[in-house]
Structure 1
Amino acid sequence: MAEHFHVNTPLLECMGMSKRLGTTVYLKMENSQPSGSFKIRGIGHLCQQLARQSKGVVCSSGGNAGVATAYVARKMGVPSTIIIPSSSPQLVVQRLQDEGATVKIVGKVWDDANAEALRLAEAEGLTYIPPFDHPLLWQGHASVITEVAASLGPGVKPGAVLVSVGGGGLLCGVIQGLKNVAWMDVPVVAMETVGADSFNAAVKAGTLVTLDDITSEAKCLGAKTVCKQAFEYSQSSELNIISELVTDQQALQAVQTFLDEERVLVEMACGAALAAVYSGLIGRLQDEGRLPTLLGPLVVIVCGGSSINMEQLSSLKHKLHI
């Protein structure tokens, strides 16, 4: 059996973004994973540890965790059931079915789908695959930073790492990865969209916050409560985590600009991180003294996403008046 299910993704220098910022920008292309997103790192690792003897796995997902789980389960020869909220686009359902998963649509947001996944796991003796809140996931996701360090080579350290936050799994993995390569002093810019901002709300309140609803179109960022570990990291004096928000319009505009300049289509959840560069937010953080004026190379985690195609992009542009 394969050592792991993810691939070592390219770290590409991005001329367009580098020119905008006046510092080198590298893109960690997680969109080129077999499942279309970074999720396969952690989920592959967790399934290998917990699901080898399983009679089936069940995962709740807005899309990407589900696709990763279905892919890994198919490779392991284990049946998969994926519970998604009604907010997930039809193309996600199709992608999951193509991977051989049984798909159930439950509730309006991820939290509803998750309650059903936990119930099914209990009732049918299935292995529950959490989409973001588990130490094995973070351990798997940490490999993204190990690869960045290897690609940059000895003696080169990023000026900052840019990452989108939904439930906080990738953020926890990135921080674990920074610890693994002794880069604890590298700032992490954690990006969310307004309306899917459970991490930012928690950072502002100084305690975990549960949002009333997910009102952002970046449905894959839609966890009403961020995982506790992500919040605890935000409170740590050893780490520099900068939590920032962009609007849905800015995230979608970033998706469009990225498509035009880099010829790569990613979903809005990923656009949140890209928007930090395109919308001038990084420049503002430098002006405010929250990031150094002379910034070392910026690493953007292009987390990818399976819930986007041209039709979906057009419909979002129409909805958000772009």
Structure 2
Amino acid sequence: LAGGEPQHAQRRSMSKMAGTAVYLKMENCQPSGSFKIRGVGHLCQQVGAPSLCLEPLCGNAGMAAAYVARKMGLPATVVVPSSTPALVVRRLQEQGAAVKVAGKVWDDANAEALRLAETEQLTFVPPFDHPLLWEGHASVVAEAAAALGPGARPGAVLLSVGGGGLLCGVVRGLKDAGWADVPVIAMETVGADCFNAAIKAGELVTLDDITRLVQL
């Protein structure tokens, strides 16, 4: 699951601290730098024309869409809020995407992306909220199952949660692998813990504010 000496060293260190075998799925080694390429790539292949992508603050979904569009020979427009780091904008442009800045926060960019999709008849590629994204992300578990081999199964899966796309994909992948009873430990950033808030409320909720944000 983790290739290369640095990754193996990290895995050994984490296994020692945890007192059990820890396996790492190094999605940072994907061409676009994250797991997002799995779902975005799958969605783009299914719809055939990734002409528009909404981009969250971290840059990963937009980077995946820009990479996939370039590989498929199709145009991509990435809508970002003004809070997006200049480095992310430059990297998107280097992949050949047109970058449109709209508003200050994610919701502003989302509204503009939806407007463009409707008025210019473009394909809308969301960053996390779509069944085809989850279907693509499920391949993470399929690969893990193949790497672990017949009869092996994880004691738990630990992952981070932002928009929830990876979580949905992993849950689907676990069911497909016959591991539906494997516990999933979902980690969120304090101050941006919308999933935790929704679980406590028993329904979808909107945070009053995001008080902590990690930018790459």
Q: Is the 8 A contact 2:2 2:24 kept in 1?
A: no
Q: Is the 8 A contact 2:129 2:165 kept in 1?
A: yes
Give the structure 2 partner of residue 48 of structure 1. Answer: 45
Give the structure 1 partner of residue 14 of structure 2. Answer: 17
Q: How many residues align?
A: 211
Question: What is the CA distance between 1:105 and its match in structure 2?
Answer: 1.7
Q: Which structure's residues are more often strand, by fraction?
A: 1
* CA distances 1:148-189 after superposition (whole Å, capped 9, x unpaired): 000111111111101111110000000000011000111100
CA RMSD of aligned residues (A): 1.7
1:146 corresponds to which of 121, 134, 142: 142
Q: Is the 8 A contact 2:2 2:23 kept in 1?
A: no
Distance in 2, Cα, partners of 1:164 & 1:173: 12
Distance in 2, Cα, partners of 1:128 & 1:158: 36
Equivalent runs, 1:182-221 vs 2, <5 Å:
182-218=178-214
Question: What is the CA distance between 1:97 and its match in structure 2?
Answer: 0.5
Distance in 1, Cα, partners of 2:3 & 2:123: 32
Q: Which runs of 4+ in 1 moved over 4 A?
A: 8-13
Question: What is the CA distance between 1:111 and its match in structure 2?
Answer: 1.8
Q: Is the 8 A contact 1:109 1:214 kept in 2?
A: no
The answer on 1:27 being equivalent to 2:44 is: no
The answer on 1:61 being equivalent to 2:56 is: yes
Distance in 2, Cα, partners of 1:216 & 1:177: 30
Distance 1:140 1:168, change over 3 A: same
The answer on 1:97 being equivalent to 2:72 is: no
Q: Secondary structure of the equivalent of 1:137?
A: helix
Distance in 2, Cα, partners of 1:175 & 1:151: 18
Q: Secondary structure of the equivalent of 2:25?
A: strand
Q: Secondary structure of the equivalent of 2:181?
A: coil
Q: Secondary structure of the equivalent of 1:155?
A: coil
AA aligned opposite 1:60: E
Distance in 1, Cα, partners of 2:116 & 2:168: 27
Question: What is the CA distance between 1:118 and its match in structure 2?
Answer: 0.4
Question: What is the CA distance between 1:210 and its match in structure 2?
Answer: 0.5
Distance 1:117 1:34, change over 3 A: same
Question: What is the CA distance between 1:9 and its match in structure 2?
Answer: 7.4
Q: Secondary structure of the equivalent of 1:125?
A: coil
Unaligned regions of 5+ residues in structure 2, if any?
A: none
Question: What is the CA distance between 1:146 and its match in structure 2?
Answer: 0.2
Give the structure 2 partner of residue 84 of structure 1. Answer: 80
* CA distances 1:225-247 after superposition (whole Å, capped 9, x unpaired): xxxxxxxxxxxxxxxxxxxxxxx
Equivalent runs, 1:243-282 vs 2, <5 Å:
none
Distance in 2, Cα, partners of 1:79 & 1:165: 29
Q: Is the 8 A contact 2:28 2:34 kept in 1?
A: yes
AA aligned opposite 2:103: G
Q: Secondary structure of the equivalent of 1:204?
A: helix
Q: Is the 8 A contact 1:43 1:68 kept in 2?
A: yes
Q: Secondary structure of the equivalent of 2:62?
A: helix
Distance in 1, Cα, partners of 2:74 & 2:209: 34
Equivalent runs, 1:155-174 vs 2, <5 Å:
155-174=151-170
